[in-house]
Structure 1
């Protein structure tokens, strides 16, 4: 029976990974392993970089400033990056962290902040978004960390959508639509490249909704009879896409 490595700490690194390699971690990750987790020489961890799969590594040096590891063996093949695009209006503090983490867990390939008329947050720390994506990938054994795309105004996103995304359809969670099942609308998109757009807490403005409904590549869907918070709508929208026409099938 294959040995399980799910109990081992997992860390994302930028360096290349391959059998026989020797890796030296930076100060923060070294401190985390040696001081926080109290890992020492001979202990094992799993490293991944989004390119080479997941590798079992063994500590050969445990300085709190500079942990060194020997790359031992491949324990999981690299997964193909997801093509699912996810755009959202940024939320405040912990709820923003939650949205990023859940998008990673739900199999998104690109995460793009979209500034709308009622967006609550107008200054984003890209480093924090990336750190949250990496942390979620480490915790959930995701090998392909999503790309964090630069923030963009909704109008610019829609005007340049076909140039940037080609024939990708944009699923629009329309809080103003009559309650209905999204199943039929989504089944018609089977096999196509997809994006999901979730609005801010206050919803899209009337002008924004009119523009979205007028565009041929936009597919409005309802997420049911209840008003959902933006972070809940994100999880619900990604879940129905993955369950009906995505990688849950």
Structure 2
């Protein structure tokens, strides 16, 4: 059944108007009609069975009928990723949403070559990924921030998986030894971390430095590999 992310509150009998783009998708692409059923979620109220209650000249009205799944969240995992080219950033954000990340934090490092990002585009990508994967929440995407600023405001209760291109412990073993809890994964720019950044990261008590193997990976490949390893070691794949 088609799933749709909405921002309105959901409760029995609630009616809402989807965006024009969503309405065109439901009626023009998916060929739904008056009375057709679909699933709605907003990241707060669980998942709801809904129907198309009205078909208007320039849109439709949806009505929430009953909750079919209570609200649930995945693991407390963040992805901190240095900005790279637009297409690769979009791939990283899409795959992060598919792999269960709760928050994406774009960062600017010493060797970052890109400083701007379209947050509206990335938000749309996370929403589509959440609809497709069946998750009940949509990961947040932050404004880009300097890596030093992120580390200055770090909560030490959150472990940091530092994907160190110069070496580190085997990822799966290192993660298993560190154990569960709130985590973040840090992926650097395609030029690698500057020596002073690496030195600071390795000196932080909450950092677990890991290797992603003997090959040099592009940022998008590294992000997918790191998220997969973390999910296999500490995530919710056994549910």
TM-score, normalised via structure 2 length:
0.93
Q: 1:51 aligns with which of 39, 44, 51?
A: 44
Residue of structure 1 equivalent to 2:166: 176
**Is contact 1:100–1:129 with CA below 8 Å preserved after alignment?**
yes
Note if 1:20 corresponds to 2:13: yes
Report how far residue 82 of structure 1 moved.
Answer: 3.4
Deviation at 1:182, TM superposition (A): 1.6
1:90 aligned partner = 83
Matched, 1:137 2:123: no
Residue pairs, 1:66-215, within 5 angstroms = 66-80=59-73, 82-161=75-154, 165-177=155-167, 181-215=170-204
Q: Structure 2: any 5+ residue segments left out of the alignment? A: none
Structure 2 residue aligned with 1:224: 213
Give 3-state SS (helix, strand or coil) of 2:228's partner: helix
Shift of 1:76: 2.0
Bigger drift between 76-85 and 127-136 goes to 76-85
Displacement of 1:168 in angstroms is 1.0
User: Contact conserved, 1:35 with 1:64, CA < 8 A, in 2?
Assistant: no
Alpha-carbon distance in 2 for matches of 1:206, 1:64? 60
Structure 1 pair 64/75, CA: closer, same or farther in 2 (3 Å)? Answer: farther
Report the number of matched residues. Answer: 238
Specify every segment of 5 or more residues in structure 1 that has no aligned partner in the other structure, as ranges: 1-7
TM-superposed CA distance for 1:208, in Å, is 1.3
What's the counterpart of residue 5 of structure 1?
none
Find the counterpart in structure 1 of residue 235 from structure 2. 246
Give the deviation of 1:81 after TM superposition: 5.0
Relative to structure 1, is the Cα distance of residues 92 and 64 closer, same or farther in structure 2, using a 3 angstrom cutoff? Answer: farther
CA distance in 1, matches of 2:62, 2:192: 49
SS of the counterpart of 2:65?
strand
Aligned to 2:225: 236
Q: How many angstroms does 1:212 deviate by?
A: 1.1
- SS of 1:188's partner is helix
What is the CA deviation profile of residues 90-119 of structure 1, one whole-angstrom value per residue up to 9, with x for unaligned ones? 221221111011111111111100111222
Regions of 4+ moved over 3 Å:
none
2:49, 2:31 → 1: CA distance? 18
Taking the aligned partners of 1:70 and 1:212, their CA distance within structure 2 comes to: 50
* Residue deviations 1:8-63 (CA, integer Å, cap 9, x gap): 22111011112222222232222222223222101111111001111111112223
Report if aligned partners of 1:87, 1:196 keep a CA contact under 8 Å in 2. Answer: yes
What value does the CA root-mean-square deviation take over the aligned residues? 1.6
